[in-house]
Amino acid sequence: MDISTNYLGKHFENPFILASAPPTANAEMIKRAFEAGWAGAVIKTLIQEPVKNLQNRFATYKMGKKIIGFENIELLSELTPEEWYKDIQKLKKDFPHKIVVGSIMGDAKNKNQWVEMALGCQDAGVDFLELNFSCPHGYPAKGKGAAIGQDPEYSAMITLWLKEDSRIKVPIIPKMTPAITNISSIGEAVANAGADGICAVNTFPVIMGFNLRTLKPKPDVGGYTTAGGMSGASLKPVALRCVNDLVENPGLPVMACGGISSGFDAVEFMLLGAPVVQVCTEVMLKGYSIISKMKKEVSRFMEWHGYSSIKEFIGLGTGLTTQYSELDQDFKVTPSVDPVKCNGCQVCFVSCRDGGYQAIKMKEHLAVIIEDRCSGCSLCFQVCPQDAIQMVEN
C-alpha cells in the first residue's frame, strides 16, 4: 500500500512527523527518529533569548494506569539559533529525503527577530517554517506564543512580515492555539496575510490538579504550580474540531496535531482533510519505535476499505459536520441487544436507570429494551463493556 502523502508540494514517505517538542530537542534525537522511520520532524522552537527549564515540569492525568492527559510547562529550545542552523544543515545532508521544519518564536513587536530566524532556518535548508503562535505557558505573559495566536491583528502582522520579505521563499505555516473561541478567525487573518498552510493545534492550557495525599499541586515546583499545556489522547476531540473548522474556513492546507496516539487516530484527521499529522506525547511515553505500529494501522484501515493510496480518502469526512439546526430532526434509532454477547453485567441497566429514561430491564440475566420508554439516546450503547448493544436505524 502507498502510505506516502504530499503537503504544499513536498513528498512525505508517510504521513507522520514529530511535533516541535522534547522528542525534537536536538539533532541526535531527530536522527534516531529518522532512522526509525519518521517522515519528518519539526525542530524544537528557536528563540533569541536564553532558555532555562524548570525541573519537575511534567504531570499526567490517568484513568487507572493509562495516561490520557499529559501536561508540560517546558519552555522552548535550550540550543541557540546558530547551533540549530548547523544541525539543520547536517540533518538535511544526511537525510535528504526527510522533511525538516523550522520553528521560530519572537517578540510580537520585533520584526527583525522573526525575519532573522526565518532566513537562518531557510539558509540551513528547512522545507517549511512553522510560526509558534501557540505556546500556552511562560511566554504569553511576555506577549509571545498564545498571546499572538489569540490576536488576529498580531498573527496577521507577523505572517505578513515574513511573506512580504522577498528573501524568504520557504512556505510559512503558523501553528494555532486551541485556546480560543473561534479558531477560524485567526485562520482567516493569517490566510489573508499570505500564510501557505496552518498547523493545528498546540497544547491546551490546564491545571492538572492535586496529589490528595500530600496536598501538593501537579506539577509541584517548590510547592506551587502554574497552568501548563495539556497534550495526549484527551486533546484529540478538541484538535479534531479545530482542524475541521480550519479546513472549512479559511481552507488553507492543514497539518494536524493534537492527541494522535495511533495510526487510526491519524486517519480521522486525514478524513477531515489533513494529509500530514504531527505526534509528540505518544513518543514521549513509548519512544520513536511506535512509528512502525502507526504505519501498519493506517495500512490496516486502507485494507478495510480497499484503498491503495492515502489520497483516496483524504478529506472524505469533510462536509459530514454541520450546524445542529441542519441535523435531521426525524432521524430515529433503536438499541438492539445481542443475547449471545450480553453477560448480564447490568452496566447499561444502571446507566439508563440513573442517567437515562429507565428503558432497560433485566430478564433472566439479560438486558431487555423497554421500547415505549426508549428515546434512542444511545447511552446504553456507549457504556456497554461487551459490545453487546448496537444502535439500529429505524
State whether 293 and 386 are in the same domain. Answer: no
State whether 194 and 274 are in the same domain. Answer: yes
Average pLDDT by stretches of 10, the chain with 394 residues:
97 98 98 98 98 98 96 98 98 98 97 98 98 97 97 98 98 98 98 98 98 98 98 98 98 98 98 98 98 98 98 97 97 98 98 98 97 98 98 95
CA distances from 244 to 84, 211, 310 (A): 33, 36, 18
Question: What's the CA dihedral at 48, 49, 55, 56 to 10 degrees?
Answer: -60
State whether 245 and 387 are in the same domain. Answer: no
CA distances from 11 to 8, 14, 344 (A): 9, 9, 52
Q: Which domain holds residue 335?
A: 328-393
Among 82, 121, 94, 73, smallest CA distance to 31 is for 94
- State the pLDDT at residue 280: 98
Structural contact between residues 284 and 302, judged by C-beta atoms closer than 8 angstroms: no
Structural contact between residues 53 and 221, judged by C-beta atoms closer than 8 angstroms: no
- State the pLDDT at residue 288: 98
Show which of 287, 312, 337 is a domain's final residue. 312
Count of structural domains within the chain: 2
**Residue 320 maps to a domain:** no
Q: Give the span between the Cα atoms of 117 and 144, in whole angstroms.
A: 15
- State the pLDDT at residue 178: 98
Among 42, 25, 258, 48, smallest CA distance to 139 is for 48
No. of H helices and E strands in the chain?
Answer: 12, 20
**What is the domain-level CATH number for residue 236?**
3.20.20.70
CA angle 64/69/72 to nearest 5° reads 130
State whether 276 and 333 are in the same domain. Answer: no
Show which of 260, 281, 312 is a domain's final residue. 312
**Residue 321 maps to a domain:** no
- State the pLDDT at residue 318: 96
State whether 220 and 367 are in the same domain. Answer: no
State whether 233 and 145 are in the same domain. Answer: yes
Show which of 253, 285, 312 is a domain's final residue. 312
State whether 284 and 376 are in the same domain. Answer: no
- State the pLDDT at residue 301: 98
- State the pLDDT at residue 371: 96
State whether 27 and 105 are in the same domain. Answer: yes
State whether 270 and 365 are in the same domain. Answer: no
Cell readout for 222 is 517548590
- State the pLDDT at residue 18: 99
**Residue 176 maps to a domain:** yes
Catalytic residue among 135, 257, 342, 380: 135
**What is the domain-level CATH number for residue 348?**
3.30.70.20
**Residue 319 maps to a domain:** no
**Residue 203 maps to a domain:** yes
Give the residue ranges of DSSP H helices in the chain: 27-36, 81-94, 111-124, 146-149, 152-164, 183-192, 236-248, 263-271, 281-286, 290-305, 347-355, 379-383
Q: Give the span between the Cα atoms of 230 and 208, in whole angstroms.
A: 8
- State the pLDDT at residue 76: 98
Determine whether 345 is an active site residue.
no
Cβ-Cβ contacts under 8 Å for 299 (sequence gap 6 or more): 1, 3, 263
**Residue 323 maps to a domain:** no
